[in-house]
Amino acid sequence: MKLIISMMVFSLCSFSALAKNDIEAGRVKSASCVACHGMNGKVSVPMYPNLAGQNAMYLEQSLAAYKKGGRTGGQAEVMRAYVANLSDEDFSDLAAYYASLKP
C-alpha cells in the first residue's frame, strides 16, 4: 500500500514537472499578449518591449514581479493588469515560449 501511494505521489510530481516550462502551452497562453508584444514576441509599436529570445528565467521573474507589485513606475501598471490572474505555471510556460522564439 505504501509503495502504491509513493508511486502515485511520484507520478503526480513528474507530471507537474512535465507541465512546467511548456512551450506549446505558453504559445496558446500568449494570445492575450500579442496585441502589445507582437505575433512572435517582436513588437511593431516601439513603446513595448520585444520578448523573443529573452532569457526564460528573466521573463518568468519579471512576470512574477509585476504580479506582486515588485515592478512599478514606467508602464508597469499596464502589465500588472495582464498578469493579475495568471499563475506561476502560466509564467513559466509563457517564459519558455518567448525564450524559444528567434530574437
Binding site for ligand HEC (CB under 6 A): 32-33, 35-37, 48-49, 51, 59, 62-63, 71, 74-76, 78-79, 82, 94
| Residue closer to ligand HEC (CB basis): 35 or 39 | 35
Radius of gyration of the chain (CA): 16
Residue listed under C-alpha cell 529570445: 53
Residue listed under C-alpha cell 502551452: 25
Are 79 and 59 within 8 A, CB to CB?
no
| Residue closer to ligand HEC (CB basis): 13 or 28 | 28
In one-letter notation, the amino acid at residue 71 is R
- Shortest CB 65 distance to ligand HEC, Å: 9
| Residue closer to ligand HEC (CB basis): 5 or 47 | 47
- Shortest CB 58 distance to ligand HEC, Å: 7
- 58: cell is 528573466
